Amino acid sequence: MISPHRSPDEPPLDDDVVDAEGARGMGFLEHLADLRRALWKSSIAVMVGMIAGWTFAPRVLEDLVQRTVHHAVVLSPFEAFNERFKLTFILGLGLALPVVFWQAWSFVVPGLLKKERRWVPGLALGSMVLFAVGASAAYFYVVPLVVRVLESFLVAGVTTEIRLGALLDFTYNLALACGILMQLPLVTLVLTVIGLVSPAFLLRQWRIALVAVFVLTAAITPGDVVSAQIVMGGPMVLLYFASVGLSFLVARRRDEAERREGAE
């Protein structure tokens, strides 16, 4: 179909250009209305998720305390309520994340080119899955490990009274850190695809990467450095070399695609 604003003799526009021109055709008020609808639907999804999160929050709190310090205290009448409400919000956001992602995707897709529409959803979903894996590893593995390591510094006659708020903040921070660290394979994939890094470069820098990994794990897991490095550093090293392997696969497929295009 020929656009009424173009001559029949002119070549047809590329799909990417058509998409971009269609996005630019939307007015500012239309974009604002779309954003308001997306935010409204996302807020409703989060509130529905928080209803379920309020139900599950006490069980999560009890499980976390039993996995770590076995006993926690509150120092004000409102602390238990405040911490439960914060945890409810985090659980509700996690439950509503698919809806929030869909609304965000629906809002930004008109401004994306056709090629971007193919790979952005996969990257976003992969990032969410990796973050969830990292946060889960922090909850089930890292936080209990760090608490046990730190308890090894206690001497006879010394007891601990851990605030519930401090325990939860500590868990949130480690879950966020582990979730971000789990993005390493995805970041490596993207950098390889766009040509900023190569598998050979990553392998040449393995010594620097190992030092960075152990420094980072030492910062994340304070206390008994030796045991922390063995328990945390090992998986991080494996994650790095898994990222290198993924980079090899991506680079090989990219080279094969370039050779096919050159042959055609």
172 and 75 in a common domain: yes
What percentage of the chain reaches a pLDDT higher than 90? 21
Residue 85 lies in a domain: yes
Last residue of a domain, one of 136, 161, 181: 181
Higher pLDDT, 89 or 7: 89
193-229 residues labelled b (16+ CB within 10 A) or e (exposed): beeebebeebeeeeeebeeebbeebeebbebbeeebb
Boundary of a domain, candidates 159, 181, 203: 181
* 119 plus 194 within the same structural domain: no
- Looking at the structure, do residues 210 and 154 belong to the same domain, yes or no? no
pLDDT value, residue 18: 43
The more confidently predicted of residues 151 and 114 is 151
Q: What is the pLDDT of residue 140?
A: 92
Residue where one domain finishes, among candidates 138, 154, 181? 181
What local confidence, expressed as pLDDT, does residue 13 receive? 46
In a domain, 195, yes or no: yes
Helix axis angle, 234-263 relative to 206-220, nearest 10°?
Answer: 140
214 is in which domain, residue-wise? 183-256
**103 and 163 within one domain:** yes
Do residues 170 and 199 both lie within one domain?
Answer: no
Q: Which residue has the tokens 């994306």?
A: 112
Name, in order, each residue with C-beta under 8 angstroms of 96's C-beta and a sequence gap of 6 or more: 42, 45, 46, 48, 49
Whether 202 and 162 map to the same domain: the answer is: no
Q: Does 191 map to a domain?
A: yes
For position 87, what pLDDT does the model report? 94
Q: Is residue 264 part of a domain?
A: no
Count of the separate structural domains present in the chain: 2
What is the distance between the alpha carbons of residues 35 and 29, in angstroms, rounded to a whole number? 10
Quote the CA–CA distance of 68 and 64 in Å, as a whole number: 6
Q: When comparing pLDDT for 40 and 235, which is higher? A: 40
Rounded to two decimals, the pTM is: 0.74
- Asked whether residue 48 falls in the same domain as residue 58, the answer is yes
Kindly state the DSSP code that residue 5 receives in the 8-state scheme: T
Say yes or no: 227 and 240 in one domain: yes
pLDDT at 101 over 70: yes
Across 80-200, the runs of DSSP E, i.e. the strands, are: 162-163
DSSP 3-state of 251: helix
Q: 232 lies in a domain?
A: yes
What DSSP element (H or E) covers 233?
Answer: none
What is the overall mean pLDDT for the chain?
A: 79
Q: Are residues 41 and 162 in the same domain?
A: yes
In-domain check, residue 42 = yes
Judge if 51 and 93 occupy the same domain. Answer: yes
Structure tokens at 113: 């080119």
Q: Residues 6 or more apart from 71 whose CB is under 8 A from it?
A: 65, 162
pLDDT in tens, 179-199: 888 888 888 888 887 778 888
Task: Say yes or no: 173 and 221 in one domain.
Answer: no
The angle that helices 114-137 and 184-193 make with each other, rounded to 10 degrees, is 160
In this predicted model, which residue has the larger pLDDT, 132 or 27? 132
- The reply to whether 52 and 128 lie within a common domain is yes
pLDDT in tens, 197-224: 888 888 888 788 777 777 776 666 554 4
DSSP state of 73: E
| Residue 62 within any structural domain of the chain | yes
Given a cut of 80, whether residue 50 has pLDDT beyond it is: yes
Amino acid identity of residue 74, one-letter, is V
